[in-house]
A and B are shown apart, each in its own frame.
Chain A
Amino acid sequence: MTHFLVRRLLLTIPVLLGVTTLVFSLIHLVPGDPVQAMLGESAAPQDVAELRGRLGLDRPLYAQYGAFLKGVVTGNWGTSLRTNQAVTSAIAERMPATVELAAVAMAVAMLVAIPLGIIAAVNAGSSVDHVATTVALVGISVPGFWLGPLLAIVFSVVLGWLPVSGRGTLAHLVLPAITLGAPLAAVLARVTRASVVEELRELYVLVARARGVSHARAVVRHAFRNSLIPVVTVLGLQFGAVLTGAVITETIFSWPGVGRLLIQSISFRDYPLVQGCILLIAVTYVAMNLLTDLMYGLVDPRIRYD
C-alpha cells in the first residue's frame, strides 16, 4: 500500500510541473506585447516599462520561469494589476463562496441522483427506467448557462420566490446550487443505475435472495453498497465539471466566488489574477483526482499499482 501511495504521489509531480509551466506560458501567449495589452494602446512608454519591470517580464525567460515556480511554491502569486491586492489574498477572499456553492451542489446532486439511479436499476427495462434514463440524458444535455437563466425566469421573475443574484441567505444559494448540481446529478444517476444493474446480476445477490433476504434489502444492503465504488469515483472525477460549472454559474447569479473573479479579471486583462485563478482551479482538480485514486486504491485492492 505504501508503495502505491508513494508511486501515485510521485506521478503527480510532473503533472503539477506541467500545469505550472502552462499557466506560466499563458502571459506569453498574449498576441503582441502583454504589458501594452494590459495597459491599453494609449499607455505612456514609462508606465509600460515600469509595469514590465514590476512583472519581471524584462528578464530572460528562464529567470521569469524560475521566479514564477518559486512564487508558486512560496505562495507569492503576484499582485492584481487592478486592485494591487496580493493574488493569493484576492483568491482566498472568494474561496469560501465557491466551496459553499460546490459542496451544496454536490450534496443536492447526490441526494437526487442516487435514489433515482437505484429506482431505475431495480426497474431496469421498464417505463420507470426509460423515464429516469431520459431525464438523466436531458440533464446532461441542458447546459448550465441555459438552465440557470431559465430557473431565474421561473422562480425569480415569474414566481418571485427566490433572489436572482448575490449571496448571503439560504435562498440565494438555491438556484445556483441546482444549476451547478443538475448535470452532476444526471451523470451520477446514470452511473448509479449502470453500477447497480451490474451488481444485481452478481451471484452473491442471488445467494442473498436465496437465503431469504428481501428484495429491498438485497438491493440496498448488498448491490448498492458494492456499486458505491464507481459512484464515488465518478463523483471525484466530476469535481472538475463542478469547478468549470462554477465559473459559469457564478457569472449567471453574480455569486462572488473564484469563478466570477476569473471572468472579471479576464475582462480587465488582469493577467496575474487570471493565472492565479487558473492555477488554483487546476491544482485543486489534480489534488481531488489524486484523493479519488488513493481512496479507490484503499477501497478496492485490485486496482493498486504493482
Chain B
Amino acid sequence: MILAALAAIVGPGLTPFDPAAQDLPLRLAGPTLTHPFGLDELGRDVLARVLAGARISFFVGLTVVSISASIGTFLGAVAGYFGGVLDDAIGRAIDVLLAFPGLLLAIALVAVLGPSLSNVLFALTIIGWVGYARLVRGQALRARELEYVQAARAVGARAPHVLWRHIIPAAMPAVVVQATLGMGGAIIGEAALSFLGLGVQPPTPSWGTMLNGGRAHLLDAPHLTIFPGLAIAALVLGLNFLGDGLRDAADPKQT
C-alpha cells in the first residue's frame, strides 16, 4: 500500500518513460529490462501507465471516501440524534439505495450520465455515503442515551454543539475503519466501471481501462492484463489488511 502511495505521489518520476509516449514499432512487446512491464497496443510503457494509474486510483479512493464519509456521517448523526421524521426520511433513502446491490446503481448512473471520471466520482459517492450513514446512525442512537451526552443537553448545549462535540467523535473509530475498507471498495469500483468502458476514458491511464484494453490481447500480450491487475489487487489487499487490523484494534472483544 505504501508502495502504491509512493507511486501515486512520485508517479511517473520513477520511470524515464512518458505514460502517453507511443513507440508503435514496439507495440505489444513483452517485458524487458528497459520496459519491465512491457508495452501496450500503442507501444506505451506499461510501467509508466501503471504508475500514472496509481494517481487516478488514489484520487478516486480519497475523493469518494472523504465526500461520502462526510455526507454519511452528517446524515447518520442527524437521523440518529433527532429521530422522528428526519430519521424516517433518511432511513427510507438508505433502504432504497441499499436495495441496489453493489455497483449496480453506479453502473446505472454512469450509463445515463455518460462515461467520465467526474461521473464515476459522483456515482460512487451516491452509493458510498449510505454505509457511513447507517453506521453513524446506529452509533448516534446509542450515544444519545449516554450520560455525558444527556448531561450536555441538560446544561443547555445546543444540538449542533452536541452533535459536533459528542455524537460524531463517538462514531469516529467506526467511521475510520469503514473508510479504510471503503477506499478499497472505491478503487475497485472505479476500476470495474472503467473495465466495463463506463469510467475513465482512454488515453487517461486508469488500471481498469488498461485491463479493458488488455482483454483483446489475452493471447498475444498477457502482460497487459497481469500488471495493472496486480497493482489493483496489491493495493486493495493492503487496504483490507489495514482495515481488518483497525477493526480488530477497535473491537474490545478481540483483546
Contact = CB atoms under 8 A, between A and B. Distances in A.
Q: Do A and B come from one complex?
A: yes
A119 interface: no
Interface in A241-290: 241, 243-245, 247-248, 251-252, 262-263, 266-267, 271, 274, 278, 281-282, 285-286, 289
B251 to A, nearest CB: 12
A138 interface: yes
Given A145-B195, A241-B101, A29 B113 contact: yes
Interface in B100-146: 100-105, 107-109, 111-114
B175 to A, nearest CB: 21
Interface residues of A, number: 51
B21 interface: no
B112 A27 contact: yes
Interface in A104-145: 137-138, 140-143, 145
A152 B237 contact: no
Contacts of A21: 96
Contacts of A252: 215
A14 interface: yes
B141 to A, nearest CB: 16
Interface in B47-86: none
Contact of A286 (B99, B111, B112): B99
Contact of A278 (B93, B104, B228, B229): B104
Contacts of B195: 145, 248
Interface in B205-226: 208, 211, 214-215, 218-219, 222, 225-226
Interface of A is mostly: helix
B192 A143 contact: yes
Contact of A248 (B95, B192, B226): B192
Contacts of B19: none
B108 A157 contact: no
B24 interface: no
B198 A266 contact: yes
B18 to A, nearest CB: 25
Contacts of A213: none
A250 B238 CA distance: 28
B211 A146 contact: yes
Interface in B158-209: 184, 188, 191-192, 195-198, 208
Given A18-B99, A19-B96, A266-B111, A150 B225 contact: yes
Nearest to B244: A137
B240 interface: yes
A30 interface: yes
B148 interface: no
B112 A267 contact: no
B46 interface: no
A30 B112 contact: yes
B211 A285 contact: no
A248 B194 CA distance: 11
B214 A244 contact: no
Interface string A12-29: 001110110111001101
A271 B111 CA distance: 9
B90 interface: no
Given A145-B208, A146-B225, A244-B103, A26 B218 contact: no
A150 B226 contact: yes
A149 interface: yes
Given A145-B211, A244-B104, A271 B112 contact: yes
Given A145-B229, A153-B225, A278-B105, 8 more contacts: A16-B99, A26-B109, A30-B112, A145-B192, A153-B218, A239-B101, A247-B196, A289-B99
- 10 tightest A-B CB contacts, nearest first: A240-B101, A146-B229, A18-B96, A244-B102, A141-B237, A266-B111, A141-B236, A145-B195, A149-B225, A285-B101
Interface of B: 92-93, 95-96, 99-105, 107-109, 111-114, 184, 188, 191-192, 195-198, 208, 211, 214-215, 218-219, 222, 225-226, 228-230, 232-233, 236-237, 240-241, 244
